[in-house]
Amino acid sequence: MDLSVGPNAFFWSAETVRDFYRALAETPVQRVVIGEWVCSKRLPFWQDEIPGAVEALQMAGKEVAVTSLALITLRRERRQTADLAEMGLPVEINDLSALHHIPEGAPFWVGPVVNVYNEGTLEWLARRGATRICLPPELPLASVAALARAGHAAGVAVEVWGHGRAPLAISGRCYHARLHDRAKDSCQFVCGDDPDGRDVDTLDGRAFLTVNGVQTLGRAVTTVAGQIEALRDAGVASLRLSPQIGAFPEIARAYAAALDGAPDLPGTLARLMPGAEFCDGFLAGQPGVAQVALG
Amino acid sequence: MMELVCPAGTPAALRAAVDAGAHAVYCGFADETNARNFPGLNFSREEMAEGIAYAHARGAKVLVAINTFPRAGDQPIWHRAVADAERCGADAVILADLGLLAHAAERHPGLRLHLSVQAAAANPDAINLYAEAFGVKRVVLPRVLTVEEITAINREIDVETEVFVFGGLCVMAEGRCSLSSYATGLSPNMNGVCSPASHVAYAEQSGAQEARLGGFLIHRTPKGAPVPYPTLCKGCFTSGEQTGHIFEDPVSLDATRLIPALQKAGVRALKIEGRQRSRAYVGQVVRAFCAAVEAADKGQPMPEGLLAKLTEGQAATTGAYAKTWR
């Protein structure tokens, strides 16, 4: 089992992006997916960083793919998606319509917000050229194991959401803009104020969700820190780590060490992310927010 | 005339919809294969065959929704549902899952396929992909699109489009939402339920009424005021200085006044949400919408106040269609 880093979900400045990928190149992860995943309006602010980041990551020996948006509706977004296929990198589709732009049989990856729930879907995608699939975070371990077996037979590496706030929903409406009484078209990029997303609490003060523009994530950090052996036994090829603003290189190193047998990953994560809440219910077939194997 | 596609959670509701003039009725089997898998709802195989015969005898179609995502290791349950729908005489099946669509296209070539809203096909590239790969004949569009976007989509596709005009409103891209399973362990995609009643708790707390889902406080209202059902995306939350309906107000969709615009946009069918509703409700809504669709067909204005009674006590919105989200 190895480590993949997914695309950054949040709106960071170009400088933050540059520093993030420069530091990531030094970490023991095998592959990185880069690109704008959540909102097409953000891309012009940081897209000039992509070529340099790709080069640095490739120089460091990492496989690099470029992601599609998670929800493609506008004509401009469809053109952007078509352009991805011209970049000379594998495309990770996070909206099925991106497949339209990939020549039949050309290899591609599938991201965690494409619905791959069963063998039939995995096999259909494999026939179209999928070589790597990150499964939806809500899947229980029994499904993960069945899909890892099907993936093995079909030549598809199966990846699982390993670390990060889980992407729970995507909408046509921007909740950051709505919180500022603005429409999406006049958002003034307020999501940039919250580099790990904006906290949403229940009325009695419980931390619950995170708003990130048109995306909604869980507030607790989903982690498989307590389930690594079960995932290895299930035949999972990689764990996906999702970018966050603080301590990410250290977090990646902690997962790499745990894959090599280092003990107490949950304890290490708690030290690296003071005050964070963690959860791991989805894999156990429980509410995603539950803590089951974290000890 | 645009086709009116009406909900039926029970055989009685199916008959009520057909009797009220529905052009088509959609329903599902009583199991996890459909996205309204609620206790006491839906059809046995025998009821499905009888319901379809009843509809066909009166000139109405029946569309069978098999629109959850089959569980790995258990695909035969979903495969059987498709085969049984065809055997019962369904005019089409409404599917969302790629693997199930591939199976149906290969094993049931004579069966008409509609793409469920749960597939979230939100642009022409996605729709054309489903049409080319599986021969899908109609797509139910996600409720995240404006009328202008729907018009543009129809120009670039050959398949029919169907849109929701009345009833519950998802504000998230449907079929791509795990909010419910994050809080309760049960999701629309895997279990056919969202914010399920089994995980709802109501209580009184220091003079206020509270509604919780999976233990999370979703609504708090003063004593005596109505407590909305705690659907997660329509809950009341706090973010920074602000407290309110962060995602969407507890409103339902009513796009009646947009019917002429939708017709002009090239929409083939209008869908009414509400398989969980009573047959009396279904009959009333279907009659009202039949009148509206006929008026639109003749270029007449939409009848006013038709549905006022049915939306009483609850605010209605035109959702994304009227572009307020942009």
To test the contact with chain B by mutation, choose from A117, A184, A289 the residue with the greatest count of B C-beta atoms within 10 A, namely: A117
Give pLDDT tens digits for A122-169: 999 999 999 999 999 999 999 999 999 999 999 999 999 999 999 999
Q: In this predicted structure, what is the pLDDT of residue A40?
A: 94
A93 contacts A74 by C-beta, under 8 angstroms: no
* CA dihedral over A286, A289, A290, A295, signed as positive or negative: positive
* CA dihedral over A4, A252, A160, B172, signed as positive or negative: negative
Contact B173 A200 (CB under 8 A): no
Determine the Cα–Cα distance for residues B17 and B19; give it in Å rounded to an integer: 5
Q: What is the greatest pairwise CA distance in chain B?
A: 61
Look over chain B and give the mean of its residue pLDDT values, rounded to a whole number.
92
The phi and psi torsions of A60 (rounded to 5 degrees) equal -85, 5
Give B172's DSSP letter: B
B261 contacts B147 by C-beta, under 8 angstroms: yes
What's the first-to-final CA gap in chain B, in angstroms? 30
Chain A residues with beta carbon closer than 8 angstroms to that of B147: none
Give B85's DSSP letter: H
**pLDDT of B308 above 80:** no
Per-residue pLDDT, averaged over A59-64, amounts to: 98
Tokens read off for B319: 């959702």
Q: Is the ipTM of this complex over 0.95?
A: yes
At A186, the pLDDT band (50, 70, 90 cuts) reads confident
Give pLDDT tens digits for B91-106: 999 999 999 999 999 9
Q: Which residues make up the CATH 3.20.20.70 domain(s) of chain B? A: 3-169+251-317
- Which of helix, strand or coil describes residue B151? helix
Give B142's DSSP letter: P
Chain A residues 219-278 with CB within 8 Å of chain B: none
At B312, the pLDDT band (50, 70, 90 cuts) reads very low
Chain B residues with beta carbon closer than 8 angstroms to that of A290: 185
Give pLDDT tens digits for B40-88: 899 999 999 999 999 999 999 999 999 999 999 999 999 999 999 999 9
Distance from chain centroid for Cα B63? 13
What's the first-to-final CA gap in chain A, in angstroms? 22
B63 contacts B91 by C-beta, under 8 angstroms: yes
Q: In this predicted structure, what is the pLDDT of residue B257?
A: 86
B7 contacts B39 by C-beta, under 8 angstroms: no
Contact A118 B128 (CB under 8 A): no
**pLDDT of A290 above 80:** yes
> How many residues are recorded in chain B?
326
Domains in chain A and their CATH numbers? 2-166+222-261 (3.20.20.60)
Chain A residues with beta carbon closer than 8 angstroms to that of B69: 115, 117-118, 121
Q: In this predicted structure, what is the pLDDT of residue B36?
A: 83
Q: In this predicted structure, what is the pLDDT of residue B206?
A: 85
User: B48-60 in b/e burial notation, b at 16+ Cβ within 10 A?
Assistant: bbbbbebbeeeeb
**List of E strands, B19-169:** 24-27, 61-66, 92-95, 113-115, 138-140, 160-167
State the smallest CA–CA distance between residue A237 and chain B in angstroms.
18
Contact B70 A120 (CB under 8 A): yes
To test the contact with chain A by mutation, choose from B33, B171, B174, B176 the residue with the greatest count of A C-beta atoms within 10 A, namely: B176
**pLDDT of B170 above 70:** yes
Question: CA of A147: how far to CAs of A2, A95, A135, A187, B302, in Å?
Answer: 17, 20, 9, 40, 50
**Residue A99 forms contact with B (CB below 8 Å):** yes
B72 contacts A143 by C-beta, under 8 angstroms: yes
Chain B residues with beta carbon closer than 8 angstroms to that of A99: 129
Long-range contact list for A97-104, CB < 8 A, 24+ apart? A97/A72, A97/B121, A97/B122, A97/B123, A97/B125, A97/B126, A97/B129, A98/A68, A98/A72, A98/B125, A99/A128, A99/B129, A100/B125, A100/B126, A100/B128, A100/B129, A101/B125, A102/A129, A104/A128, A104/A129
Question: CA of A227: how far to CAs of A224, A233, A235, A236, B181, in Å?
Answer: 5, 10, 13, 12, 19
Q: In this predicted structure, what is the pLDDT of residue A180?
A: 87
**Residue A287 forms contact with B (CB below 8 Å):** yes
**pLDDT of B195 above 70:** yes
Q: Nearest Cβ partner of A73 from B123, B182, B246?
A: B123
> How large a percentage of chain A has pLDDT more than 70?
100
CB pairs under 8 A between A and B: 209
Determine the Cα–Cα distance for residues A62 and A55; give it in Å rounded to an integer: 10
**pLDDT of B324 above 80:** no
Q: Nearest Cβ partner of B216 from A98, A146, A208?
A: A208
**pLDDT of B313 above 70:** no
Determine the Cα–Cα distance for residues B56 and B90; give it in Å rounded to an integer: 10
Look over chain A and give the mean of its residue pLDDT values, rounded to a whole number.
96
Chain A residues with beta carbon closer than 8 angstroms to that of B251: none
At B305, the pLDDT band (50, 70, 90 cuts) reads low
* CA dihedral over B190, B196, B201, B207, signed as positive or negative: positive
**pLDDT of A271 above 90:** yes
Q: In this predicted structure, what is the pLDDT of residue A277?
A: 96
State the smallest CA–CA distance between residue A284 and chain B in angstroms.
10
Distance from chain centroid for Cα A64? 14
Q: Which helix (H) or strand (E) element contains residue A15?
A: helix A14-24
Q: Domain B3-169+251-317 class?
A: alpha beta
Chain B residues with beta carbon closer than 8 angstroms to that of A211: 239, 246
Q: In this predicted structure, what is the pLDDT of residue B325?
A: 58
**pLDDT of B253 above 90:** no
Q: In this predicted structure, what is the pLDDT of residue B311?
A: 60
Q: In this predicted structure, what is the pLDDT of residue B144?
A: 78
Q: In this predicted structure, what is the pLDDT of residue B224?
A: 87
State the smallest CA–CA distance between residue B311 and chain A in angstroms.
24
Tokens read off for B52: 């379809």
